[in-house]
Amino acid sequence: MTGVQRVNIALARLPTWPVYVAGMLPAAWAVWLGATGGLGVEPINALEDRLGLLALQFLIAGLAVTPLRRWTGLNLIRFRRALGLVAMGHLVLHLTVWLVLDLRDWGLVWADIVKRPYITVGMLAFALLLPLAATSSNRAIRSLGPLRWRRLHRLVYLAVPLGGLHFVMQAKGWQVEPLVYLATILGLLALRVGVTRARIAA
């Protein structure tokens, strides 16, 4: 038995709830820092950015699950739903900070979405992810049927690149970090396409 197989057996025995708890700890820490002056002179903007980046990181982690299993044998499939829902939790907090603490005028929401392309892209990504979060349950799979459910959840392959593009556009310039995130997303999607083609060929 290989080391990866031993790890997979150990992971199969673990419940998924610790992923939810541990996954939301960075958000709790970010909120704490924002409330106690630990995020600098512009805590609202810093908190908004940090929560958005955390959401993107968890979305990327979810994308990495299938290629990771394919190329290394490490099986994290049972934790993918938790990763996606944790990402959505951070995304909801990111949006809440923007709406309640940053924008502070609900009358400006639509104008801001239309006027600023990076917000338009970000809201589109959020809209695509909403039905995925709403159907991330065994009951939803039974209700929709496995085939329809899988087709619906392919929206993640559009939503996550849009999230990466939102990060690039929000940075207002060709900054390295957002481009690295976007390149990572596109690379994982390319690997995903490779896995699908390999299955078809087999």
pLDDT at 52 over 90: yes
Task: Give the burial class of 72: count Cβ atoms within 10 A of its Cβ; 0-12 exposed, 13-18 middle, 19 or more buried.
Answer: exposed
Quick one: tokens of 97? 């900070």
- Separation CA 117–CA 120 (nearest Å): 5
Q: 99-151 pLDDT, tens per residue? A: 998 887 777 788 888 889 999 999 999 999 999 999 999 999 999 999 999 99
Give the Cα separation of 93 and 26 in Å (integer).
12
Over residues 1-9, the mean pLDDT reads 86
Burial class (CB in 10 A: 0-12, 13-18, 19+), 188: buried
Of residues 160 and 106, the one with the higher pLDDT is 160
Quick one: average pLDDT of 47-69?
A: 96
For a pLDDT cut of 70, what percent of the chain falls above it? 96
CA dist 194 and 66 (Å) reads 11
Round to whole Å and give the CA distance between 90 and 127: 15
Give me the number of domains the chain comprises: 1
Give the per-residue pLDDT at 157.
96
pTM of the model: 0.91
Domain of residue 168 covers 3-201
In a 3-state reduction of DSSP, which class is residue 125? helix
Q: In the predicted model, what is the mean pLDDT of residues 38-64?
A: 95
pLDDT at residue 202 is higher than 60: no
